[in-house]
Structure 1
Amino acid sequence: MSTRGFHVKSPEARENLETVGATFLDGYAIAVEAPHQDEAHRLLERIPVRYRGFAYEGAAMGLAMLDGLPVPGNGRVAEFLAGHGAPHDYMVHVGVGWAMARLPRFRWASIAPADPLLRWLALDGYGFHQAYFRTARYVHGHYRESAFPWPGDETRRYAGHAIDQGIGRALWFIGGTDPAVVADLVDGYQADRHADLWAGVGLATCYAGGATEDELRLLVERVGPHRPQFVQGVAFASTARVEAGLLTEHSETAVRLLCGLTPQEAAAVCEQARPRPVVDGALTAYETWRRNIAERITSGAPEARA
């Protein structure tokens, strides 16, 4: 935390966030060193539940980096998603975005996710990486990606939104899980970016944790009109933990206080709102999905408690 120049709220917050980072690196090393997927899975499953998802995220980055090399034998991420990585598909796609940030752009096609819906999580991961490691430019300088080259189709207009969602997630780390500091960081950006940034904050608040119940209530006060996007991020995080079997007390508390739901109910909302088939129109299917989740939770729709 001190090396990156991030805010330190308390020794406990520092330990939590630094453990996240160390576990991510462990997952990366496991993936690139393991002789096969089964061995990587065995080692990843040894990691404590609270941090295991970050290890799978790191593992996905490692596999994507290998896939991005100009040598025969790629397809490791696809194999991972078809196997032991399937329950962690949210985190795996985010991990691919970390690799995008480290690979030259002409190699991106070799690691581009095939899932037409979750592929946007790769840009969430890219945005997180840029804010985390290029903080002066992306956070304090409020740099905004324009004419982003991925994906190579008509939906690229949405790329900046997905990147901002990742930047928002990074703000939870940069602000040291201190709600007042994080909210001030969000407020520093142009107003038209706040909705996506708050969605990212919501995801990190629930998945990484680090806030007390009083701090969570403060977040609700500061999020203001962007509560729909905020709770959508919380619901994504809850779903990622439920589907992977990695529920923790801090995640359950966050979902209850911020969404008024159990983790299972939040996951059910995400599943019921998921577009089938995935068809991009004036809005990407991903953005339509996010908006439907937000609307169902904030309106208290009956299916939110199915």
Structure 2
Amino acid sequence: MARTVRSLRRTLLAPELAEVSFARRGFPPLPADSPAARLQDVPRAVVCGFEWAIEARGIEEITQRLDLLDPEQRGFGYEGATMALTVLDAMGRGHRTRDLLEGPGRPHILLAYIGIGFAMARLPRVLWGRVLPDLTGQPLHPVMSWLAVDGYGFDLAYFHTRRWVDEQRVPASHPWQGAPDYFPRAVDQGIGRALWFIHGARPERVDAAIRAFAGHRQADLWSGAGLACVFAGGCGADTFADLRRLAGRHAPELAQGAVFAARARELAGYVPQHTAVATRALTGLSVEAAVALADDSAPPGTGPGPVPAYEHWRRAIRAHFRPEVAARR
């Protein structure tokens, strides 16, 4: 009976592999031999992680399956697995997500938060209070839990592109971490990340898509695009350089997203070549220097207030890339 219920949840809540392909989503076509074509491996790894976790008998079985993924894609598998366990926990008040993230999923915690956001996109808002596990003691919790809202925004843009990208709809707010006014900004960061995939790692199309949004939203969109391209790749050094040029006055936001992506890759224990190339192109820093900047800029606490510690962290990183600051270095 339990397995039947899980199979039903999988059918209702997870897209099939074919549904996440760029062609099925209606995104611009990509040549099969293009580096950007590999971006489709990302949502496929997420779906695999979800399906494996929703059917697994325990954390060990989930981990054994995720270990079959290439190291470059494994974090995305943990996104999907976290999504599945979040759904199970929210619907049944379990602690599977906490067990995963306090154990083998700990190095992938930043992507796991995004997986929680994928679950939020499929759960009624009344259950959102149950989705974030108690990870007290982990250094990035709960500051980086805003990546769950980022994941929610990515999901909206990827699966409902006309509404959230073409029409630039504004999501309803929610008191995440006691900062409801910041919620739409974190959603925009996820939408910006999705634009890198929707437009197949083509900077000029990403730029045009961002320019269609209201001016006050564009900085967060650029930040999301920076995180996506550094973590997922899809092009070469010249294309990354084009993206930085097109970002213009939002280059510090682009660089901030890049720094977060470099931090996430280093934390997970595997830094692909494209991450090193993109980090250098967007920030002028090595991965090691970007990680040091992220750590040195981290806020001292998570105190209450309308501006969350997560945003204070982002501001501190962006400040490093402001022209007046860079000129003094």
Instruction: Work out the CA distance in 1 between the residues paired with 2:121 and 2:50.
Output: 15
Query: Are 2:160 and 1:134 aligned?
Result: yes
- Offset from partner CA, 1:151-176 (integer Å, 9 cap, x none): 273x1110000000000000001111
TM-score (norm 2): 0.87
Aligned to 1:29: 51
Instruction: Work out the CA distance in 2 between the residues paired with 1:135 and 1:301.
Output: 40
Q: Which amino acid aligns with 1:191?
A: G
Which secondary structure does the structure 2 equivalent of 1:247 belong to? coil
Q: Which amino acid aligns with 1:253?
A: V
Aligned to 1:51: 73
CA contact (8 A) 1:186 1:194 kept: yes
CA contact (8 A) 2:36 2:235 kept: no
Aligned residue-pair number: 299
2:307 to 270, 283, 292: 283
CA contact (8 A) 2:46 2:76 kept: yes
Aligned to 2:113: 93
Aligned to 1:149: 174
Which secondary structure does the structure 1 equivalent of 2:144 belong to? coil
CA contact (8 A) 2:301 2:309 kept: no
Query: Are 2:238 and 1:217 aligned?
Result: no
Instruction: Work out the CA distance in 1 between the residues paired with 2:77 and 2:237.
Output: 27
Which secondary structure does the structure 1 equivalent of 2:271 belong to? coil
Q: Which amino acid aligns with 1:126?
A: Y
TM-score (norm 1): 0.93
Map residues 114-125 of structure 1 onto 2, 5 A cutoff: 114=134, 115-125=141-151
CA contact (8 A) 2:37 2:200 kept: no
1:149 Cα deviation after fit: 2.5
Map residues 154-165 of structure 1 onto 2, 5 A cutoff: 155-165=179-189
- Offset from partner CA, 1:245-280 (integer Å, 9 cap, x none): 121000010011111111121111111111122224
- Offset from partner CA, 1:73-118 (integer Å, 9 cap, x none): x111112121111111100001000000001111111113553311
Which secondary structure does the structure 2 equivalent of 1:200 belong to? helix
Instruction: Work out the CA distance in 1 between the residues paired with 2:285 and 2:219.
Output: 21
Which secondary structure does the structure 2 equivalent of 1:142 belong to? coil
**Gap regions ≥5 residues in structure 1:** none
Instruction: Work out the CA distance in 1 between the residues paired with 2:194 and 2:96.
Output: 27
Aligned to 1:200: 224
Query: Are 2:253 and 1:240 aligned?
Result: no
CA contact (8 A) 1:199 1:232 kept: yes
CA contact (8 A) 2:220 2:253 kept: yes
Aligned to 2:210: 186
Q: Which amino acid aligns with 1:100?
A: M
Aligned to 1:104: 124
Instruction: Work out the CA distance in 2 between the residues paired with 1:4 and 1:64.
Output: 25
1:4 to 22, 25, 29: 25
Which secondary structure does the structure 2 equivalent of 1:102 belong to? coil
Aligned to 2:286: 262
1:19 to 34, 38, 41: 41
CA contact (8 A) 2:196 2:228 kept: yes
1:9 Cα deviation after fit: 3.8
RMSD: 1.8
